[in-house]
Structure 1
């Protein structure tokens, strides 16, 4: 029996149906089951608000530029300093979740994300913007890695998949809501209200968690009865979890950032949408991502879905590249949908790889490392700006497309 077949059999369609090779025991205490469900809903709210708190800045960039509160260099620098806070906190959040439990780490991270948005709201200067984005990065990194581990502890593989879907929804709703608010409000309120709403939603999630508390994970038993003749089930391995999940991580935010930044910048002159354009791009990309994740969960797509994810990413990059400097609107829409679909599927497959192979006591740490590699994609706009005078618009995207297709071949 091959390792791939063993994994598919033991985990049952990539681990989701069987909660990571295990099946919950029948619980005579329905109240305990209901409590776990309520706590999981609060975890989902924390992840959604964290995604909202960080990604609504994609729309607020346009607002800040239109009102000339900051120069383009300063606004782009805010992305860089955000990453300075995010990357180490993703790793630290996973390690702390393994050691102290995920709940205190998530609440600390969510509080930091709310404080960061309030700092930008109250201190609209360059130091205030940089400090706010740094604090948001630190907080969101803690909340994402530890929150996904918390969801997995409560609901197994299903919880980790749903965590990815909810986080994606937060990434989508933040830019859309902030764009709509900024469009209909006066200049001063257009800056203040979106940051206030992001902070308020995060605080609401924190309060809900403080009131509800936590729940213990359900007892579990092996999904496959032990047999003296059957081959042994795979041993949990952090190395194996990273070897399978990182090739998926590379196509998570790289696809999203090309859709939301690279393509959006190139069609901005053709669309008179102003500050609504980033929100529209987010709606297309992240809705496609959520839809793809939902279909995968509904129909129990197995590990081969990762091959499809990387292939779709390759197709989206190639299409975006062939559009050149000023792609037509139809190409922008189709490429954004493809890249958003790849984002959702790659995120789901990477999370399930971690849940399937990582040792339970190291799952938070493994998730943190996985998420660090997903955020490598945020370097693409800076890299493209550096390469543009030398290569033009087409070549970098074609190279990304070829690399994604190569990754699909390796996973196959």
Structure 2
């Protein structure tokens, strides 16, 4: 009898941990997607590519993310999570291989960044939906409804934080700075890939009976939900908008003020995303039962962080920048969790991945900020441009504050 009880307890522990296999895969893909960030400083210092070309690599990545999000989400709703999530780490590893080979070849680097984006898009929408569905009493008795959003956002943020931190340290002090970080990611992807096969499929019905066309799936009916349009949409671009102001724009402004510029860029990424990771652990408690508190708090912290970025642009100092990065990281973490939790609440079971993909695609529009600011820097100063961004964030706060109370 004691033996049988032990087996039952072991089975329960196994059930509670099935989401970890998916989370580790998402973590690995996110690692590869963001390890490029601190190396932006390295590529600028090498002088092989123009600043605009380097920032355009963020746009290539964002385009890849959009393709992965908007294509893989509906496909996984239709054919199952494993079939769409399994290739993601392999595509991420291939992207790293292209980037490592393209340190002096722009075409290879652009292909690599696009592939990295596609893999991240797949991981975010398919992996995030899979983690959400595994946070279900069928797999984990007594699990809270918001636990799926917390685990999904933390898996992404953990990879987004550690990837650039490790890559920056390696590029600053180890040989082959343009290749070694990417080789590490390739090894990590291949080692952890088999784990995804241990996670149970949560869309079995999709394999048995598929109705309608793929193009009908892409429409995602719940995207017309008023709360999604008027609360989630205004908040979403500031998720990565805040993050990339922190670890793509501020290190560029300060690179001549620090001795180890690549390592400092990695530190900023780690502080930013580490702050976001930390606050996401308390997301369910912050949100509570209120449908207004979370979105308003996320946008309020965003406004504060953007105002802080204006201060740093006007009074550049490495330590001040780190303080502002904490605030922008909190804005990222709150925006990611609150937006994802709202999205998962709004979505129906048949378009969960599709609507999640649309939410993430909207968050990644914030990645365009660095390229836009670099292009406009010929006409405006950074304090002016970041100040304008702060005003737009205030307007989004007002919209979210009004609509979240009514919808």
Instruction: Please classify the TM superposition score into its range, dividing by the shorter chain length.
Output: 0.7 to 0.9
**Equivalent in the alignment of 2:253:** 266
The corresponding residue for 1:372 is: 361
Contact 1:106 1:144 in 2 (8 A): no
Matches of 1:246 and 1:32, distance apart in 2: 41
Q: Distance in 2 between matches of 1:291 and 1:177?
A: 19
Find the aligned partners of 2:54 and 2:396 in 1 and give their Cα distance.
33
**2:382 pairs with 1:393:** yes
Does residue 328 of the first structure (1) align with residue 317 of the second (2)?
yes
Instruction: Say if 1:116 and 1:132, in contact at 8 Å, map to a contact too.
Output: yes
Structure 1 position 46, deviation (Å): 1.0
Equivalent position SS for 1:391: coil
CA contact (8 A) 2:241 2:363 kept: yes
Per-residue CA deviation, residues 204-233 of structure 1 (Å, 9 max, x unaligned), is 2321112x242559xxxxxxxxxxxxxxxx
Which residue in the other structure is 1:278 paired with?
265
**Cα distance per residue 1:360-380 (max 9 Å; x no partner):** 111110011101110111111
2:224 aligned with 1:239, yes or no? yes
Native 8 Å contact 2:62 2:365 kept in 1: no
Contact 1:115–1:132 (Cα < 8 Å) also in 2:
yes
Per the TM alignment, residue 109 of structure 1 is displaced from its structure 2 partner at its CA by 1.8
User: Is 1:139 the equivalent of 2:119?
Assistant: yes
Structure 2 residue aligned with 1:85, among 45, 64, 88?
Answer: 64
Residues 123, 346 of structure 1: alpha-carbon distance in 2 compared, 3 angstrom cutoff: closer
- Structure 1 distance, partners of 2:12, 2:202, is 10
What's the TM-score, normalizing by structure 2?
A: 0.83
What per-residue deviation string (whole Å, max 9, x for no partner) do you get for residues 135-173 of structure 1?
A: 212222111111111111111531222110121111110
Q: Residue 38 of structure 1 corresponds to which residue in structure 2?
A: 17
Aligned to 2:274: 287
Give the TM-score, by structure 1 length.
Answer: 0.82
Q: Report the Cα offset of residue 247 of structure 1.
A: 2.1
2:129 corresponds to which residue?
A: 149
Instruction: Give distance in 1, aligned partners of 2:11 and 2:80.
Output: 19
| Aligned mates of 2:63, 2:286 — CA distance in 1 | 39
Gaps of 5+ in 1: 1-27, 218-235
Residues 56 and 371 in structure 2, CA contact (< 8 A), matched pair in contact too: no
Please, which moves more after superposition, 43-52 or 73-82?
73-82
C-alpha RMSD of the superposition: 2.3
Q: Which runs of 5+ in 2 are unaligned?
A: 1-6, 136-144, 204-220, 402-407
Distance 1:87 1:72 in 2: 23
- Distance in 1 between the 2:44 and 2:248 partners? 15
